[in-house]
Structure 1
């Protein structure tokens, strides 16, 4: 039982770690894009881009939905959104499914033991 739990916990940790890495990579990608914009278009181009980003503020849930729908303002927002989906949606859902599967399995084993004892 504990061996299976440790495998499930390791898989959930890996899924969350990949999501965190994608969020961090998305932030680094955004900084690289801004630096490139500064080098090619100067301060005026960067200020125009930052004004567009500032006017495009969304709630966290809206940002996550927009990141997957393709309506995001930058590729880096897409990468960050995928990372947030992994961390805040897929990891908890996978953990819940695994916990339910383990609980059903344990209940079935307990019932089989009771039947065998009678």
Structure 2
């Protein structure tokens, strides 16, 4: 499975669409790579990540429309997650991540929506 995690520095970005880049974690090969965020354009990122082969997104906050678009693409979500990318991957492997279903306002500022 290929997992995308929005990244800001070494941490999960609090607001999905505004991240610097995405960490892609391949659960089969146990490899990590980074992909630059091509830009915050409404409705674009779910299709972009689907084309990369992403099956699951682990994120902090995410707008309701984005969550609906990911569902349309068949991409699973775990939202309301915070911490370092490495810690989040360890917690995922231990099956310790639980989605809060957190929905950000479409007009929230990056710091306004996090767990």
Bigger Rg, which one: 1
TM-score where L is the length of structure 2: 0.24
Structure with greater strand percent: 2
> Higher relative contact order at CA 8 Å, sep ≥6: structure 1 or structure 2?
1
TM-score where L is the length of structure 1: 0.23
Structure with greater helix percent: 1
